[in-house]
Amino acid sequence: MSSASRRNAGFQPELRKNIVTREWVIIAKGRGKRPSDLRRDADPQEDPPQYDSKCPFCPGNEGKTPPEVFALRDGGKPNSRGWSVRVVPNKFAALRADGSDALRSVGIYSARDGFGAHEVIIESPEHNKDLWEMDTEHIEGVVEAYRQRYLAYEVAESLRHVLIFRNHGPKAGTSLVHPHTQLIAGPVLPHQVHLELLGAGHYWEYLGKCVFCDILDYELSSGERAVFESDHFVVVTAFAGRYPFETWVIPKRHSIRFADMSEEEASDFASVLKEVLRRIALCLGRPSYNYAIHSAPTTDYNVRAYHWHLEIYPRITTLGGFELGSDIYINVISPEDAAKALREVGSE
């Protein structure tokens, strides 16, 4: 452990395993110091300005973030103005680059250092734009940043998984208005991805084909939940979606990893992302939402049955004790009605 990290040793995040369910949880005390945490009532800016001099992600404030690890720039030195997309380590990281990779016992329990990476992909110099309001060419740059940073962690031997996710709006856990995506690379497989891998693996073994490819075929032929398709992607509402208007973007080509997209596919993905987010914003009145890219684990796993995709979760309802206590979600809008609304808004 370096002396710099020893100074912050009190904040070393910890991964802890639930001894009953075996699910991992991150205990990250340091994150409690973020201004948005533990505030009982969110205080979202209803109509944020294009530039906010206090925002650490706005141009001119590059010194307020840790040094950048990637940027698309027209000019200027690193950590100065001139960027269009900029990636920095998260100052309030849920996982940190230092720490041991060893599992340890805490009495009857298991834990390990919160080892990994947590980055912020600042999507635009403009403070107040949602991703879909940017030009397609600009979104292509954001997707390129996703790809580059995904690849940077995929090779790390001690990391098992990279999750790229986005929070937009006060009901989606956003701590800063400025448009950004986050990347967390960790040493354990997320339970949700584990369940998908297991399910896709069994489907492949029993039926000899990919469950996501079957979803594509079935949804395109039935049409009930299909929203639109492009050359390389299909957009559908999820048959058993947990959230109202839960929408998936699935590549037509069977491909296990997000970063395996060709340049043409990546460009198509950017325009599909713009279009689906635009439609959700129009349908639901610019709701809070999250999305996450589900991609195969980075190392040593039989993943041929997997098929990467993007899941979008609009946050227009509040989870209650039934969802938290059972993991069965109640979705109050049928996916067929949601798909119909998303299709109809397309022509506007």
Query: Diameter of the chain by CA atoms?
Result: 60
290 CB neighbour count, 10 Å cutoff: 19
State how far the Cα of 52 lies from the Cα of 254, in Å rounded to an integer.
43
The dihedral built from the CA positions of residue 78, 79, 85 and 87, taken in this order, carries a sign that is: positive
Residue 51 or 165: which CB sits closer to a copy of itself?
165
For residue 123, CA distances in Å to 16, 19, 177 come to 32, 39, 12
Residue 50 or 192: which CB sits closer to a copy of itself?
192
- Amino acid letter, 74: D
Residue 270 or 284: which CB sits closer to a copy of itself?
284
**Backbone phi and psi for residue 237, each to the nearest 5 degrees, phi listed first:** -85, 145
Residue 30 or 82: which CB sits closer to a copy of itself?
30
Q: Least CB distance from residue 231 to a copy of itself, whole Å?
A: 24
Element housing 314 (H / E): strand 309-314
128: Cα within 13 Å, side-chain hemisphere: 10
Q: Least CB distance from residue 340 to a copy of itself, whole Å?
A: 13
Residue 128 or 317: which CB sits closer to a copy of itself?
317
Q: Least CB distance from residue 246 to a copy of itself, whole Å?
A: 9
Strand partners, 162: 185
- Amino acid letter, 242: R
Is the Cβ–Cβ distance between 117 and 183 less than 8 Å? yes
Is the Cβ–Cβ distance between 137 and 103 less than 8 Å? no
State how far the Cα of 9 lies from the Cα of 104, in Å rounded to an integer.
17
Question: Which residue's structure tokens are 């840790």?
Answer: 66
Residues marked active site are found at 180
Q: Least CB distance from residue 332 to a copy of itself, whole Å?
A: 4
Q: Least CB distance from residue 210 to a copy of itself, whole Å?
A: 10
Angle at 159 between CA 3 and CA 29, to 5 degrees: 50
What burial letters (b/e) apply to 25-46, b meaning 16+ CB within 10 Å?
A: ebebebbeeeeeeeeeeeeeee
Q: Least CB distance from residue 173 to a copy of itself, whole Å?
A: 3
Residue 62 or 123: which CB sits closer to a copy of itself?
123
